[in-house]
Amino acid sequence: MSALLSVQGLRARYGAVEALREVSLEVRAGEIVTLIGANGAGKSTTLMCLSRVKSIAAGEITFEGRSLNEVPAHRVVGLGLAQVPEGRRIFPRLTVFENLEMGAYLRRDRDGVAKDRAHVYDLFPVLRERSRQAGGTLSGGEQQMLAIGRALMSRPRLLMMDEPSMGIAPILVARIFDAVKRLKNEGMTILLVEQNARAALRLADRGYVIETGRIVLSDRAPALLENPRVQEAYLGE
């Protein structure tokens, strides 16, 4: 199967510091691919490069056969690639409903928007209950659900998620991972960056391990779970 997203030789810098060094990966339609690694390894930088928020020094990013290298960040969502950012970054003064509307700001199909909002509420019922509540008054886990829902409102063909479990109570982490599994079963393609490597690999079809800006391992997720190097470095075994 051809890749929905293909990344070849990606390099990125922060000043004189090279954050990414020849990163190559691919995501095929309908699969969950996870990118795991230690803090500072380059996971979030990779996602920011893919969404074009971060400039790249070299390499090629191709989405649905089209190069994204020269595409500005504000056009990426309209091409079908949405990101759930680390730290959620919802609009705290807007209501839950208004935050979801912001996710659909490029769309003009109001019936489709209403249908997708109903799907988000079905996925996360608490958001329906709090639809008129300001986003900033939600718990961390509820804000994460809102951030995911906001990204889904753009009707993406590829959803990128950056550390969805960070700083969230375990019971809400379980609900979020259940929602990710459901999205996968519905056919959503997902690129997942997650600090909980074990949970991420249990959800994913394939995985990549990044260390100091380089991809050092890639394999089917079950094989990575059984890999002694991965177990020692990331699974606490």
pLDDT tens figures, 137-161: 999 999 999 999 999 999 999 999 9
* Residue 57 DSSP one-character state: S
pLDDT tens sequence across 17-35: 999 999 999 999 999 999 9
Predicted confidence band of residue 195 (pLDDT cuts 50, 70, 90)? confident
> Mapping DSSP to helix (H, G, I), strand (E, B) and coil, where does residue 176 land?
helix
- If one counts the domains in the chain, the total is 1
The three-state (H, E, C) secondary structure of 111-131, written as one string: HHHHHHHHHHHHHCHHHHHCC
Tokens representing 4 are 């929905």
Rounded Cα–Cα distance for residues 71 and 54 (Å): 12
Q: Strands of 163-213 (E only): list them.
A: 189-193, 206-211
Rounded Cα–Cα distance for residues 237 and 226 (Å): 10
Q: Contact 164/189 with Cβ under 8 angstroms?
A: no
Tokens representing 92 are 């705290």
pLDDT tens sequence across 74-125: 899 999 999 998 877 899 999 999 999 999 988 889 899 999 999 999 999 9
User: Residue 70 carries which side chain, given as an amino acid letter?
Assistant: E
Is the pLDDT at 180 greater than 60, yes or no?
yes
Q: Contact 176/126 with Cβ under 8 angstroms?
A: no
Contacting residues for 110 by C-beta, under 8 A, at least 6 apart: none
Q: Which pLDDT value is given to residue 106?
A: 85
Rounded Cα–Cα distance for residues 120 and 190 (Å): 16
Predicted confidence band of residue 168 (pLDDT cuts 50, 70, 90)? confident
Domain extent, residue 19, equals 3-234
Q: What CATH number is attached to the domain comprising 92? A: 3.40.50.300
Rounded Cα–Cα distance for residues 35 and 119 (Å): 27
- Work out the number of other CB atoms within 10 angstroms of the CB of residue 71: 17
Quickly list DSSP for 143-155.
HHHHHHHHHHTT-
Tokens representing 173 are 């982490």
